Amino acid sequence: MLEQSQLYTFIDKEKQFALYFLEGQKLIHDIVLTQNVQRNEFAYFRSMVLSIQLMLGLLKEGESFCCYIDSEAPYFRLKIEMNAQGLMRGMVYSDGMSAAPDAITGKLRLLKFFPRSEMPYQSVIELENTGVNEIINLVLSRSYQVNSRIFISDESDQSFMLNQLPLTQKEEPSDLEDTFRRYAGPLNDLMKKGLMDKKKLIAEAEKCGFIFLARKPVQFKCGCSREQMIENIKKFEKSSQEDPFLPGQDTLEVVCEYCKTAYPISRRDIEASPSELQ
């Protein structure tokens, strides 16, 4: 049995960079079991999960983060939603990719929800032949004003993100590219080992010059429910003024786009009050 995936947080000994290291092998394994997608679709979906999930390190208690990509070249739709507790869900849809894209053109829409605010922070970023690894770097530089680099392993379902910490008045700006390259080599070698054991992974990261701060479990978990699906059908019926049932049909099967759970919904369910459904 695979160990629970974790997001590890470190700081370098000079206290100039934060390191977020995602050990995501069980996370990707669980997604494989739920997502019935083509090989090329999944290759891209995997890369996006391993990059976007690193944003978990920047979420505070009670916050959640949603990332939606509408790509036109190549055509696909991708959704990833996660919260500060380490729970995430996602899906990808396309008409069939001939190959996993190295770069995409389209729109990236971000939503960040706060615990004491009804209105989320929203941002739209135009993507013009943008590489997979650069998408989250754009988010961090434009929305968070953070200098960062992310790296995704080809050998294991792991990734890491290096973020430059805010400078004090006494500090001078460092050469980011030189620093990123200096750390990237040893950390990429660490990912090649595919370590899942917590103590071993932390020990290897410390050899690379980082101090362990915290870790958080990460898992694929969908919050869908039968009641939620019924409410979605009611909203569709109200907004479209269309009967969701075909003539003579008394039951629908509604499938969650994230976890693929099927819910049979009857006409009586739609007409019943919420208390009658419990």
Rounded distance, CA 30 to CA 220, Å? Answer: 7
37 pLDDT band, cuts 50/70/90, is: confident
Band of pLDDT at residue 168, cut at 50, 70 and 90: low
Confidence at residue 277, expressed as pLDDT on a 0 to 100 scale? 46
Closest C-alpha among 115, 111, 9, 122 to residue 63: 115
Residue 43 token pair = 């290759």
Confidence (pLDDT) at 267: 85
| Residue closest to 83 by CA, chosen among 105, 103, 58 | 58
Q: What is the DSSP letter of 272?
A: S
pLDDT, mean of residues 142-154: 84
CB-based contact 119:110 (threshold 8 Å): no
Out of 15-24, 129-138, 168-177, pick the least confident.
168-177
State yes or no: pLDDT of 217 exceeds 80. Answer: yes
Structure pTM? 0.87
Task: Give the pLDDT band of residue 269 (cuts 50, 70, 90).
Answer: confident
Task: Using the predicted structure, report yes or no on whether residue 38 has a pLDDT greater than 90.
Answer: no
Could you tell me the CA-to-CA distances from 100 to 14, 33, 121, 238 in Å, in that order? Answer: 38, 20, 30, 39
Residue located via tokens 């690894």: 133
Q: Which pLDDT band holds residue 11 (cuts at 50, 70, 90)?
A: very high
Please state, in angstroms and rounded to a whole number, the distance separating the CA atoms of residues 119 and 131: 30
| CA-closest candidate to residue 83, choices 67, 68, 110, 65 | 65
Share of the chain above pLDDT 90, in %: 49
Query: How are the residues of the chain apportioned to helix, strand and coil, as percentages rounded to the nearest 5?
Result: 35, 35, 30
The rounded distance, in Å, linking the Cα atoms of 57 and 6 is 11
Measured CA to CA, the distance from residue 209 to residue 250 in angstroms comes to 63
Distance CA(157)–CA(134), nearest Å, equals 18
Q: How confident is the model at residue 59 (pLDDT cuts 50, 70, 90)?
A: very high
Helix axes 176-193, 198-207, angle to 10 degrees: 150
pLDDT band (50, 70, 90) for residue 33: confident
Q: What percent of the chain has pLDDT over 70?
A: 94
What structural domains does the chain harbor? 5-220 (3.55.30.10), 226-277 (no CATH)
Average pLDDT, the chain: 87
Beta strands in 140-272 (DSSP E): 148-152, 158-164, 210-220, 251-255, 262-266
Instruction: Residue 90: name the closest of 217, 220, 218 by CA.
Output: 220
Query: Which tokens hold the place of 252?
Result: 């629908």
**Helix/strand/coil for 137:** helix
Helix (H, G, I), strand (E, B) or coil at 47: helix
Cβ neighbours of residue 253 closer than 8 Å, sequence gap 6 or more: 262, 263, 264, 265
